[in-house]
Amino acid sequence: MKPTERHDRLASFEQECRRRGLALTVQRRTVFEELAGRRDHPTADQVYDAVHRRLPSLSRTTVYRVLETLVETGFARKVHHPDAVVRFDPTTGRHHHLVCESCGSLVDLDDSVVPRVPIPDARGAGFRIRDYTVSFNGLCSSCH
């Protein structure tokens, strides 16, 4: 991510906080910057480890709370991973996932690489579908 882009994302996060009347604390900024700067899908604890190194006073509880705030404000997504530990994804637009069946590693796949999936008729199930994500499973380079 280019410095400009990073700055833009932070600015837009701060703007959204103001819009919602959320206080702009160092903790929120730090956690946001950490997550936004990553291309993987860290757990709350992994974010905590990284962030705690920079700002030792920041607590694990706050990391959990800020990540929740990021999800609510649309700056992160929860990713559903087979290991049953929540992971956070800073990419919120439509994209897809490659999941390794062997080691569980998870990689993003850009939407442009995957042909559009027509939204099926789920009226039978009473569902109003808004979007979708495709999870491809297989073996990653280290596992085959």
H/E element, 44: helix 44-54
Is 82 a binding residue for a second copy by CB under 8 A? The answer is yes
Q: State the minimum distance, in angstroms, from the CB of residue 115 to DNA.
A: 33
Rounded Cα distance, 45 and 64, in Å: 8
Smaller CB distance to a second copy: residue 34 or 89? 89
Please state the three-class secondary structure of 77-112 as a single string: EEECCCCCCCEEECCCCCEEEEEECCCCCEEEEEHH
H/E element, 20: helix 3-20
Q: State the minimum distance, in angstroms, from the CB of residue 103 to a second copy.
A: 12
Smaller CB distance to DNA: residue 16 or 110? 16
Smaller CB distance to DNA: residue 26 or 119? 26
Compute, in degrees rounded to 10, the torsion defined by CA atoms 107, 109, 110, 111: -140
Which of 57, 51, 84 is CA-nearest to residue 70?
51
For DNA, the binding residues (CB under 7 A) are: 17-18, 21-28, 43-45, 57-62, 64-66, 68, 84-86
Is 92 a binding residue for a second copy by CB under 8 A? The answer is no
Q: State the minimum distance, in angstroms, from the CB of residue 68 to DNA.
A: 6
Residue 58's binding partner among DNA, a second copy, none (Cβ under 5 to 8 angstroms by kind) is DNA
Interface pick for a second copy out of 19, 56, 61, 128 (rule CB under 8 A): 128
Is 93 a binding residue for a second copy by CB under 8 A? The answer is no
Which of 36, 39, 56, 38 is CA-nearest to residue 48?
56
